[in-house]
Amino acid sequence: MIYNNKRHRGWQSAFGQALSRAGMLMLVLAITSGCRTVTKKPGAVIGPFHKPTNYHLAGGEMPADMRRVALLPLTSALDTREHRSGRAILQETMHTQVAHAGLFEVVIVPPAKMEALTGKSAWRMIEELPNDFIEQIMKEYDCQGVLFSHLSVYKPYPPLSIGWRMGLVHLSSESNNGTVVWEFDEVFNAGEKHVINSAIRNGVKNGLSDPELDYDFGLLNSPRRFGRYTAEEVVMTMQRLVKPLNAAYTEGARVPHDPGRGFFYGQEPDGRRTP
């Protein structure tokens, strides 16, 4: 048998070149993959971070008898289509975060019920309230406080911007008046680096974010997801200063009741109160 050494050398050379090209391709992929891992490692978000500062808790503690709080319908600075959409998207988000904080039992007042009780479907804390406003709310929901929430800014396109103005009022049946316990007024602007970092870190913590994508897609283009971050930050300013008064409501399970009156979060203790 005659062995063709020339053909063998040619095959060997072609095979070696193919291996070399494959090796170079694998090396390039490994290098680029390694670089991406270093710069955008999922779960690792580097600061600076945003920390809300414009809030106040009167006396540094929650009133001892603040066991149940009525959450009033969300209002907004404008009545444009954008702001109406913002209210629809963010009202439940804010209510859920307040309930999950476990500071008190919460009951949500639907706009229709608010209008039936007070003649108007939504009220801002700075407005002149009806004389019997507090009496009506306390009688209907057996609560010791009300939470006003207001969208001061709502910009649903990049860079997203959401502003919250909040007020927690302690009710008193004796004076038919209320005392502001906690106030918050701040704007979250996704055009600012420290806000972006905080929003992405929050999404990672909640399992809703991928740092590799969120700078161009996802969280920073979603009013709902960005709104969740802002609502959680708002409520955390209350949590930083107050320990939960009733650990039984920490889980914040939602229990529906008569839709005409609203629903509340948490187990109803001993079946004593039904909203």
pLDDT at position 175: 63
> What residue segments make up the domains of the chain, in order of their start?
8-36, 55-270
**CA atoms of 96 and 202, how far apart (whole Å):** 16
Burial class (CB in 10 A: 0-12, 13-18, 19+), 200: buried
Q: What is the b/e burial string over 208-243, where b = at least 16 CB atoms within 10 angstroms of the residue's CB?
A: ebebeebeeebbbbbbebbbbbbbbbbbebbeeebe
CA 225 – CA 208 distance, rounded (Å): 8
| pTM exceeding the 0.85 threshold for the entire prediction | no
CATH label, 55-270, candidates 3.50.50.60, 3.40.50.920, 3.90.1150.10, 3.40.50.10610: 3.40.50.10610
Q: Where are the beta strands (DSSP E) in the chain?
A: 55-57, 68-71, 75-76, 105-108, 145-155, 161-172, 177-189, 254-255, 263-265
Amino acid 97: pLDDT: 95
| Assigned token pair, 141 | 């929901």
Q: Are 245 and 104 in contact (CB under 8 A)?
A: yes
Whether the CB-CB separation of 213 and 222 falls below 8 Å is answered with no
CB 162 within 8 A of CB 154: yes
Q: What is the pLDDT of residues 109-162, one digit of tens each?
A: 999 999 999 999 999 999 999 988 999 999 999 999 999 999 999 999 999 999
- pLDDT, tens digit, 9 for 90 and up, residues 26-52: 544 444 444 433 344 455 678 899 999
Which run of H or E residues covers position 258?
Answer: none
